[in-house]
A and B are shown apart, each in its own frame.
Chain A
Amino acid sequence: MDYFLSEEQQMIVDVARQITDEMIVPQRAELDETEDYPRDILTAIAKADLYGLYIPEEYGGLGGGCFEIVLALEQFARGCTGVATAFAASALGAYPILISGSEELKQKYMPLIASGEKLAAFALTEANAGSDASGIQTTAVLDGDEWVLNGTKQWITNAGEAQIYTVIAITDKSKGPRGATMFVVEDTDPGFSYGVKEKKLGIRCSSTRELIFKDCRIPKDRVIGRIGMGFITVMKTLDQSRPGIAILGVGLGQGALDEAVVYAKQRVQFGKPIISFQAVQHILADMAIQIEAGRALVYSAAKHIDAHKNDMSKASSICKVFATDMAMKVTTDAVQVLAGYGYMREYPVEKMMRDAKILQIYEGTNQIQRNVIGQELNKEYTRS
């Protein structure tokens, strides 16, 4: 379907597509096997200017928004959701600075992130704080001109690869949700280290590790926004970033459909290509319907978010749930179409199915997204 992209948006798609077809697709199986971080691909993405898509021009970016990064992510995820996650994680890490950071922090960090010279990462989750973000135990205490951080963050994407970390920590336990603050931590800060690289079901080439803070001392001016506003920044960040996860579902689903259709045209059983059987055609048709519906929804949500900064939550959660549940179904169906071959690692669809599962879990489980949507509905209908 034609989504009437502007000339500039079409260029983003073309550049991202070329990187996907020429670099990501040929390497994805090996990256899945070795679990190596895709540095050369991310360097090519940086050289192609795509790290700056959503960053304002005054900070070295291209001045686009949620929709522009969505267009690039869709292509990358069609090739490999692991690579796409590694790329997207830098944006997730950058949003807190962009949304709540001081002018000084933006000037200092955003140009480096926009050029891809440095990668960012976002650190919220802890062992006892998953869906319940209020359970975080990492603390930050002001000591003279420095903040001293203690605690451990868990399952942090890009950990060990990024140089710039946006980290939430408790600064005043007595204040409850208003007692958390976000900070910028740099990889070279004293007292900051990483845990072992986690072994995952899918998105294996992306790096997932712990961040360990042991009397980690950072300068006072690394606070993002005001003290005590950490959770608000986190919520706004996730509202902004979730369409990026949603579109991974669309790209991944499209990649799975492409494989399934090509296979169904080639595979001959009972003397005919299996695509000639209605049982197979209907599976493929349902995949195509779901993917196109997902794409239309995510594009619309991304445009809504770019236009309505104070009303992002519901649109953001709706598109995340729909497109990622869709990706799980569509990739499972792709394995079904390829059947025995699809179950083998020789073909890419089993990896796609493994990769899909995380989309329903990270950046807020799909159950939490439904909570958000439910709460927003409750608010809306109370107002009217």
Chain B
Amino acid sequence: MKIIVCVKQVPDAKDVRLDPKTNTLSREGVQAIMNPYDRHALEEAVRLKEQYGGTVTVVSMGPPQAEEMLREAVSCGADEAVLVSDRAFAGADTWATTYTLSQAIKKIDDFDLILCGKQAIDGDTAQVGPGLAERLDIPFVAYVRKINDCTANTIRAERLMDDGYDLLEVPLPALFTVVKEINEPRIPSLKGKMKAKKIDITKMTAADIEADPEQLGLKGSTTQVVRVFSPELKGDRAMLTGTPDEQVAQLYEKLSPLL
């Protein structure tokens, strides 16, 4: 089974700040990590490889620094790593990103399954997975919480829903986005780290993926960010006092007009 995992380097959520002047995330001095949901996608791919055989290729669109994260993915069990990087990609929204990734994946060509995290923790759009499936014209399942089994042509998976789950059978090739409930990502192994240090990362530029320049980066993006802001915390507070019975009575009095 040939599996592609799309991974993104994101700022560590522990210290995300907004730059009020530029309306963008302030990345200065913030540690970059692999998007946590992508880590679950990678782990699932490696487990599928261990069970059914095959290869795992990680693909990331990002700046040259993303190479570090791709090496980490190799230390966790990926076999190959592809960095899609070009100045022309800068400023891409999810529309332009799915175009760029789809061009790169068409170059890789041979795959049975693509796994992505359900969303990235920086943009939080959850659009790249489904958008990419659309561009590649393959079946898509979101919020996969378990992959049950697969054959040469089909795969069965559970999709997490608000009130339970759906069991779906999908023809391959397909694209899934996964939730964190799907597995517990492993800690890199020593042999994996040694391999990661030596591996040649395949680099693809806009020219390599034969992309239409008009559809790349800021130029190819249809989204416009008008303003980004931290919501102000509002809301009145009232402290109830007295015995528990008295407090319940007061609370009922306050809530009853609203019911």
Q: Which residues of A contact B (CB under 8 A)?
A: 7-8, 11-12, 14-15, 18-19, 22-23, 44, 47-50, 53, 62
B258 part of interface (Cβ distance < 8 Å): no
Q: Which of B190, B191, B193, B194 has the most CB of A within 10 A?
A: B190
B87 part of interface (Cβ distance < 8 Å): no
Chain B residue contacts of A47, Cβ below 8 A = 186-187, 189
Chain B residue contacts of A22, Cβ below 8 A = 187
CB 8 Å contact bits of B217-248 with A (1 = contact, 0 = none): 00000000000000000000000000000000
Asked whether B193 lies within 8 Å of A11 as measured between CB atoms, the reply is yes
Asked whether A48 lies within 8 Å of B194 as measured between CB atoms, the reply is no
Q: Which of A15, A44, A53 contacts B193 (CB 8 A)?
A: A15
Chain A residue contacts of B191, Cβ below 8 A = 49, 62
Q: Which of A8, A23, A49 contacts B189 (CB 8 A)?
A: A49
B188 part of interface (Cβ distance < 8 Å): yes
B197 part of interface (Cβ distance < 8 Å): yes
Q: Which residues of B contact A (CB under 8 A)?
A: 186-194, 197
Chain A residue with minimal CB distance to B186?
A47
Q: Which of A11, A18, A62 contacts B187 (CB 8 A)?
A: A18
Asked whether B194 lies within 8 Å of A44 as measured between CB atoms, the reply is no
Chain A residue contacts of B188, Cβ below 8 A = 15, 18, 48
Asked whether B197 lies within 8 Å of A7 as measured between CB atoms, the reply is yes
Q: How far is the CB of B52 from chain A (nearest CB, A)?
A: 19
Chain B residue contacts of A12, Cβ below 8 A = 190
Interface of B is mostly: helix
Chain A residue contacts of B192, Cβ below 8 A = 49
CA distance A11 to B198 in the complex (A): 13
CA distance A50 to B197 in the complex (A): 18
Chain A residue contacts of B189, Cβ below 8 A = 15, 47-49
Chain B residue with minimal CB distance to A44?
B187
Additional A-B contacts beyond A15-B190, A47-B186 (8; CB < 8 A)? A7-B197, A15-B187, A15-B188, A15-B193, A44-B186, A48-B190, A49-B192, A62-B190
4 closest cross-chain pairs (CB), A and B: A49-B190, A48-B189, A11-B193, A49-B189
Q: How far is the CB of B43 from chain A (nearest CB, A)?
A: 12
Asked whether B187 lies within 8 Å of A48 as measured between CB atoms, the reply is yes
CA distance A8 to B191 in the complex (A): 10
CA distance A47 to B187 in the complex (A): 8
Asked whether A19 lies within 8 Å of B190 as measured between CB atoms, the reply is no
Chain B residue with minimal CB distance to A48?
B189
Chain B residue with minimal CB distance to A50?
B190
Asked whether B193 lies within 8 Å of A14 as measured between CB atoms, the reply is yes
Chain A residue contacts of B190, Cβ below 8 A = 11-12, 15, 48-50, 53, 62
Q: How far is the CB of B30 from chain A (nearest CB, A)?
A: 20
CA distance A15 to B76 in the complex (A): 11
CA distance A22 to B187 in the complex (A): 9
Chain B residue with minimal CB distance to A23?
B187
Q: How far is the CB of B116 from chain A (nearest CB, A)?
A: 24
Chain B residue contacts of A48, Cβ below 8 A = 186-190
CA distance A302 to B197 in the complex (A): 27
CA distance A49 to B191 in the complex (A): 7
Q: Which of B186, B188, B191, B194 has the most CB of A within 10 A?
A: B188
What would 28 A/B residue contacts be, using CB atoms closer than 8 Å? A7-B197, A8-B194, A11-B190, A11-B193, A11-B194, A11-B197, A12-B190, A14-B193, A15-B187, A15-B190, A15-B193, A18-B188, A19-B187, A22-B187, A23-B187, A44-B186, A44-B187, A47-B187, A47-B189, A48-B186, A48-B188, A48-B190, A49-B189, A49-B190, A49-B191, A50-B190, A53-B190, A62-B190
Chain B residue contacts of A23, Cβ below 8 A = 187
Q: How far is the CB of A208 from chain B (nearest CB, A)?
A: 27
CA distance A47 to B185 in the complex (A): 12
Chain B residue contacts of A53, Cβ below 8 A = 190
Q: How far is the CB of B39 from chain A (nearest CB, A)?
A: 12
CA distance A95 to B197 in the complex (A): 31
CA distance A7 to B194 in the complex (A): 9
Q: How far is the CB of A228 from chain B (nearest CB, A)?
A: 39
Q: How far is the CB of B253 from chain A (nearest CB, A)?
A: 41
Q: How far is the CB of A17 from chain B (nearest CB, A)?
A: 10
Q: How far is the CB of A76 from chain B (nearest CB, A)?
A: 13
Chain B residue contacts of A8, Cβ below 8 A = 194
Chain B residue with minimal CB distance to A53?
B190
Q: How far is the CB of B82 from chain A (nearest CB, A)?
A: 24
CA distance A299 to B186 in the complex (A): 29
Chain B residue contacts of A14, Cβ below 8 A = 193
Chain B residue contacts of A62, Cβ below 8 A = 190-191
Q: Which of B186, B187, B189, B191 has the most CB of A within 10 A?
A: B187
